[in-house]
Amino acid sequence: MSVIAIDGPAASGKSSVSRRLAKRLGFAYVNSGSMYRAVTWELLRQGVDTTSPEDVADALSSSEIACGIGDDGDSFMRINGRVTDEALRDSSVNLHVSLVSALPVVRDLVSARLRALAGDRDVVMEGRDIGSAVFPETPFKFYLDALPEIRCRRRAAEGQSDEIEARDKMDSSRKAAPLMVAGDARVLDTSHLTLDGVVEAILDILRPLGITP
C-alpha cells in the first residue's frame, strides 16, 4: 500500500490539495487534523482540563473512538458515537487544538489510528508530522508552505480566526512530533499557485515514481 504524506502549516493548502489529489489517484483521503480537532472538541465538551495530561489520558481511555473511511473516500473519527464534523472549526477548538495535539498521549492515539487506516489501502494523508513521524518510511513526502500573509487571508476567507503565527510557533516547538520538514520531503510553495496547479506539480513528481492517476 502507498502512503502519500502531505505536511505543512495551517492554511498552506494541505486539505484542499490532498483531497483533490486523492480523488485524482483513486486513493482514500485522510485528514489527521480533523482527528486532533475531534479529540479536542470532545475533551472540551466533557469539561476536561486540557492542560492536564493525566485528565486527558483518563478521558480518552474511557471513550469509545471509531475511525474509518466513509463511502466518499474521506476519513472520519467518531468519539462516543458523536458526529463532530460541524463543530470542528469552533473558535474554542481553534484555541485549544495545538495545546491538545501537543500531548504525547493524544499524538500516540491519533498516530496509531492513522497507521491502522493505511494498513490495507492507498492513502493521501495530510497533517503536520505524517512524513516526519507517522510514516517516515514512505518515499512519497511533500511539504506545502505559503507566505504568512497569504495563509492569513486564506484562513479569513474560510471564516476562521486562527492566530497563524501562534499556531506555527506552538506546532513547531512542541516536544512530541513537532511540525518540521522531513529531510527527504519535496517542498512546494503554494503562495501563487492555483489548487489544480499544486496538484499537477505533485503528480509530475509522483509519475516517475510509479504513482499515476
pLDDT digit string, tens, across residues 90-141: 889 988 998 999 999 999 999 999 999 999 999 999 999 999 999 999 999 9
Mean pLDDT, rounded, of the chain: 92
Eight-state DSSP code of residue 207: G
- Spell out the domain ranges in the chain: 3-209
pTM across the whole model: 0.90
Which H or E run includes 126?
strand 123-127
Q: Name residues whose C-beta falls within 8 Å of residue 5's C-beta, 6 or more positions apart in sequence.
A: 125, 126, 127, 130, 131, 134, 135, 138, 140, 141, 142, 182, 185
Residue % of the chain over a pLDDT of 90: 77
Q: Which residue has the cell 458523536?
A: 82
* pLDDT for the residue 71: 95
How many residues would you count in the chain? Answer: 213
CATH no., domain 3-209 = 3.40.50.300
- Higher pLDDT: 24 or 159? It is 24
Q: How high is the pLDDT of residue 161?
A: 61
> Grid coordinates standing for 9?
502549516
Structure confidence at residue 162 (pLDDT): 63
The DSSP annotation for 79-105 comes to ETTB--GGGTT-HHHHHHHHHHHTSHH
